[in-house]
Structure 1
Amino acid sequence: MAKLTEQEIINWNGPEDDYMNPDHIEFFRAKLLQMKAELLANASQTSQHLQEQEATPDPADRATLEEEYALELRTRDRERKLLLKIDSTLRKLDDGNYGYCEDTGEPIGLPRLVARPTASMSLEAQERRERMKKQYAD
C-alpha cells in the first residue's frame, strides 16, 4: 500500500480496532525520524556557528552577538529536550504503546498526533492536567 499522507491520516475514519494500524505506525515513525533529523541538523549548524564567532571590539556589537548566541543556545536546549521526547516516542512505537493516552489508555486521536507527534495524552487528559496545575498554582 502507498504511504499515507497527512490529510489521509487526519481524515481516517476506519474502525476503532484499526487505530494505529501498520500504515499509521509507518507514517508516524517517518514523521518522528524526519523531526529528529531536522533537530540534529540545527544542532550541527549551531555548533558550527558558535565556532565561527568573531571577536568584535565594539561593546554594543559584542552584547548583541552574545544575546543572539544566548537565544540560539536556549532554542537548542529546547530542541535537545524535544529530541529526548522523540526518542521516547519512537520507543513507544516499537513497544506498541504509541497513540494511547498515558493517563486513560484511550486513543489520543490521529489529528492530535499529526499536529503533535510526541503527544502522550489525549486532549481532554492534557486539559484536565493543566487545569489541576493551575488550581494548585493559584
Structure 2
Amino acid sequence: MKARSSAKRPSVSAPRSVSTRSRPKSQSGREKYGPIRRDLQRQRKAILDEAGEGITKRDRQEAFPDVSDQASAEVDQNFTMRIREREQKLLKKIDEALERMDKKTYGICERCEEEIPYPRLKARPVTTLCIECKTVQEQEEKIRR
C-alpha cells in the first residue's frame, strides 16, 4: 500500500506543481521586467524632478571682480550643462526602453534579435544590444577611429 500511495502522490502532485508553475511563469512573463520598469520610472522621475529644481533655482551669472573666480564659475556652469545634456540623453533612452516594454520588444537585441540576459538588463536597463553585439559594436567603433 505504501507503494501505491507514493505512486499516486507524484501523479497527483506533479500536475498540480506543473499547472501551478505554469501560471506564475505566464504571469511573470508579463511582469518579467516589472522591477526594471519600476527602476526606470523612478530614475525618470528623479531626473525630471532634478531638472525642475534646476529651472526654478537657475544660477544667475554673477560678475566676479576676480578673473579666476569668474573662470571658475564658468567651468562650473559648463560642467553643469554637460551633466544636464547627459541626463537629457539618458531620459530619452529611458523613455525608449519603457516604450519597448509597452510594445513587448524590450529585452530583444536589436542586432541579432536574441533575448538579452536579464542580469545585463538589470545592470544596464536602457541597453538595446546583448553583450556579444555590444562588444562587436565597440570593436567596430575602435576600427573607425
Q: Is 1:96 paired with 2:71?
A: no
In structure 2, the residue matched to 1:126 is 134
Q: Give, in angstroms, the shift of residue 53 of structure 1.
A: 4.8
Q: Is 1:85 paired with 2:96?
A: no
Q: Give, in angstroms, the shift of residue 84 of structure 1.
A: 0.7
Q: Give, in angstroms, the shift of residue 59 of structure 1.
A: 1.8
In structure 1, the residue matched to 2:39 is 31
Identity %: 32
Q: Give, in angstroms, the shift of residue 114 of structure 1.
A: 0.9
Q: Is 1:45 paired with 2:50?
A: no
Cα RMSD over matched residues? Answer: 2.2
Give unmatched runs, 5+ long, in structure 2.
1-24
What letter is aligned with 1:114? K
CA contact (8 A) 1:50 1:69 kept: no
What letter is aligned with 2:41? L
Tell me the distance in 2 between the aligned counterparts of 1:108 and 1:55: 52
Give unmatched runs, 5+ long, in structure 1.
1-16
- Which structure has more relative contact order (CA 8 Å, sep 6+)? It is 1
What letter is aligned with 2:56? Q
- How many residue pairs match? The answer is 122
Q: Give, in angstroms, the shift of residue 61 of structure 1.
A: 1.1
In structure 1, the residue matched to 2:118 is 110
Greater fraction helix = 2
What letter is aligned with 1:63? A
Indicate how the Cα distance of structure 1 residues 103 and 65 shifts in structure 2: closer, same or farther if over 3 A, else same. Answer: same
Q: Give, in angstroms, the shift of residue 88 of structure 1.
A: 0.8
Which moved further from structure 2: 88-97 or 20-29? 20-29
